[in-house]
């Protein structure tokens, strides 16, 4: 009785090796019918197992034909051991990747290899368990004459195929990120611009081609499906001229680059916000009220776009009004003081600025200020403007000058003045 575990393990290992070699054989052509081939391989595998030395050993120690019905309990044990072996192999593979590959990728500064490590972990674990589950299922039904054992092979092909599709699907993110890094090295302005488009296009291609390949491998004739897809695509392109126009608009936007992801743009009177994503058909713009506006690229390609983010510096223009009590000497001193404030402020661009006494307005003496902030960031721009304004207020208050506001002076004389005094 003590030899039974060893004998069961020998059957497990032999079955695992034999079925793995059979299932991992050369894949069939792109469009084939593998029903007969799968059945023949399964029957050959069952014959090999029946004639194996391990089976003969079982027969010797148990005194019965282990491939008969009475061996069902042993089949359950073998299936359980296969599942257990799959879990162990998965754990070993995961630990190996974590200790070896993770240590390697942490030594590099690139980010794409870290993403590569994360992308392959789950598909590898799934691949191991798919093999273990199908091998366990085969051990349970391989001696049932009426059961179509070729279904196990087809099921394995389907699950394995979609696992590979899943793996490649996850690797698309790695490829898109790596390409984005290459583009950014050539031009930092291209960072993040093409990644969403590349990722989406590659994912669609992977899913379509992968699914058709899996279908062809299990014997489905995909010629008709491909032809039908071509006809539907042609009909869609002919009946949806707007979609074609939006796609052309996308190409124009990517080539002319009137804006990029992260830019603050204004289009007409209703669109004003930051570009979040440039897609195949449309561009998503985050408005300043935090709503998300989706605008077709065909519309944007033909519209006038004001790109605020392309400003090298931000303009500040204002007019200060001083009261008519201000003397000429006080005005000259005030102009010099304001120029000094602008020259000494770190947020003011020193290339060009104006401080001029320009107009005698009806209720004020106007001083025109024209300068630029070094930062185009909205908050930093407002901070510079606020800081300069407060310094000007402090200086003019120190000089005893007052800001003017719209007033009217009414002069009364004669009887009108006497009447007003009487009323008072």
Rounded distance between C-alpha atoms, residue 217 and residue 210, angstroms: 11
Q: The CATH number of the domain where 366 resides is what?
A: 3.30.70.100
- 315: nearest Cα among 400, 376, 379, 263: 376
Residues 146 and 277 in one domain: no
| 35-89 pLDDT, tens digit each | 455 456 556 655 665 566 655 555 454 444 444 444 566 667 777 777 788 778 7
| CA distance to 341, 367, 368, 405, per residue, from 357 (Å) | 16, 4, 6, 17
408 is a domain residue: no
- Decide if 204 is inside a domain: yes
Of 387, 403, 385, residue with least CA distance to 318:
385
Please check whether residues 167 and 288 belong to one and the same domain. Answer: no
Bigger pLDDT: 209 vs 49:
209
pLDDT recorded at residue 279: 78
Residue 249 forms part of a structural domain: no
Of the residues 203, 226, 249, which one is the last residue of a structural domain? 226
Q: Mean pLDDT over residues 97-102, rounded?
A: 68
How do residues 102-148 score in pLDDT, each as one tens digit?
A: 666 666 666 666 677 778 878 887 888 888 887 777 777 766 566 66
- Check residue 119 and give its pLDDT: 80
pLDDT digits (tens, 9 = 90+) for 230-267: 766 665 555 555 666 666 777 777 777 888 888 889 99
Q: What is the mean pLDDT of residues 273-302?
A: 87
Domain count, the chain: 3
The alpha carbon dihedral of 369, 372, 376, 377 has a sign of negative
pLDDT of the residue at 342: 95
The pLDDT value recorded for residue 5 is: 37
115-124, 189-198, 381-390: segment of lowest average pLDDT: 189-198
What is the per-residue pLDDT for 49? 57
Within 8 A by CB and 6+ apart from 39, the residues are 148, 149, 150
Does residue 414 belong to any structural domain of this protein?
no
CA end-to-end distance (rounded Å), the chain: 127
Domain extent for 169: 4-226
Question: Does 329 share its domain with 182?
Answer: no
Q: Please check whether residue 189 lies inside any domain of the structure.
A: yes
Q: How far apart are CA 149 and CA 137, in angstroms?
A: 10
Considering 308, 342, 371, which residue would you say is the last residue of a domain? 308
420, with CB counted inside 10 A (0-12, 13-18, 19+), is exposed
What confidence tier does 173 reach under pLDDT thresholds 50, 70, 90? confident
Answer yes or no: is pLDDT of 298 > 70. Answer: yes
**pLDDT confidence bin for 352, thresholds 50/70/90:** very high
Given 308, 333, 349, the domain boundary residue is: 308
Domain co-membership, 199 together with 286: no
- What mean pLDDT is reported for the chain? 75
Checking DSSP bridges between strand 314-322 and strand 365-373, what pairing results, if any? antiparallel
- pTM for the model stands at 0.47
Residues 195, 46 share a domain: yes
């Amino acid at each position: 009785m003590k030899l039974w575990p060893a004998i069961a393990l020998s059957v497990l290992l032999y079955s695992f090796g034999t079925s793995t070699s059979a299932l991992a054989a050369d894949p069939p052509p792109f469009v084939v019918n593998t029903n007969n081939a799968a059945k023949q391989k399964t029957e050959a595998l069952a014959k090999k197992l029946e004639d194996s030395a391990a089976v003969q050993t079982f027969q010797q120690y148990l005194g019965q034909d282990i491939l008969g019905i009475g061996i069902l309990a042993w089949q359950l044990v073998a299936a359980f051991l296969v599942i257990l072996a799959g879990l162990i192999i998965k754990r070993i593979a995961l630990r190996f990747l974590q200790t070896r590959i993770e240590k390697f990728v942490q030594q590099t500064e690139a980010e794409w290899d870290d993403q590569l490590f994360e992308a392959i972990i789950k598909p590898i674990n799934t691949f191991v368990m798919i093999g273990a589950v199908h091998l366990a299922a085969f051990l349970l039904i391989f001696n049932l004459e009426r059961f179509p054992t070729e279904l196990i092979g087809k099921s394995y092909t389907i699950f394995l195929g979609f696992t590979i599709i899943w793996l490649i699907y996850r690797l698309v993110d790695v490829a898109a990120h790596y390409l984005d890094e290459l583009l950014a090295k050539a031009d930092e302005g291209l960072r993040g611009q093409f990644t969403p488009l590349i990722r989406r296009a590659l994912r669609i291609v992977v899913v379509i081609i992968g699914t058709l390949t899996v279908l062809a491998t299990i014997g489905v004739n995909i010629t008709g499906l491909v032809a039908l897809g071509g006809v539907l695509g042609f009909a869609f392109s002919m009946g949806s001229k707007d979609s074609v126009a939006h796609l052309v608009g996308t190409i124009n936007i990517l080539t002319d680059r009137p804006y990029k992801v992260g830019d603050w743009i204004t289009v007409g009177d209703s669109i004003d916000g930051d570009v979040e994503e440039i897609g195949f058909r449309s561009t998503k713009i985050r408005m300043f009220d935090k709503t998300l506006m989706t605008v077709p690229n065909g519309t944007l390609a033909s519209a006038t776009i004001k790109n605020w983010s392309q400003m090298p510096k931000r303009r500040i223009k204002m007019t200060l009004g001083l009261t008519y009590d201000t003397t000429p000497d006080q005005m000259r001193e005030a102009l010099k003081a304001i120029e000094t404030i602008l020259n000494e402020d770190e947020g003011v661009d020193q290339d060009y600025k104006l401080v001029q006494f320009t107009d005698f307005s009806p209720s004020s003496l106007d001083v025109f200020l024209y300068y630029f902030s070094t930062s185009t960031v909205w908050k930093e721009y407002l901070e510079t403007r606020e800081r300069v304004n407060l310094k000007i207020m402090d200086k003019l208050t120190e000089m005893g000058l007052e800001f003017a506001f719209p007033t009217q002076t009414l002069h009364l004389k004669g009887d009108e003045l006497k009447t007003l005094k009487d009323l008072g």
